[in-house]
């Protein structure tokens, strides 16, 4: 089940991305996840971090 529906993020996807993917994993790994996310964003073509992969989301650039 994709979390993005017509460009809108569901509450479940937001919760997974922010609470689980960013805060919980970050605290659990004592900040190591933050460093991994920075490297992932710098290296990956789609610029998705660890929290984006956990939440099943991606950032869309609007011009």
User: 3-state class of 26 per DSSP?
Assistant: helix
Q: 50: Cβ–Cβ under 8 A, 6 or more apart, which residues?
A: 21, 25, 33, 36, 37, 40
Chain segment 6-59, per-residue pLDDT in tens: 567 778 877 877 777 777 787 888 888 888 889 999 999 988 888 888 888 887
Pick from 42, 21, 39: which is nearest to 13 by CA? Answer: 21
Predicted structure pTM score? 0.66
Instruction: List the chain domain ranges.
Output: 4-55
């Amino acid at each position: 089940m994709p979390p993005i529906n017509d460009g809108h993020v569901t509450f479940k996807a937001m919760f997974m991305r922010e609470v689980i993917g960013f805060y919980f994993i970050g605290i659990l790994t004592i900040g190591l996840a933050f460093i991994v996310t920075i490297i992932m964003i710098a290296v990956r073509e789609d610029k998705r971090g660890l929290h984006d992969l956990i939440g099943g989301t991606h950032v869309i650039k609007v011009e």
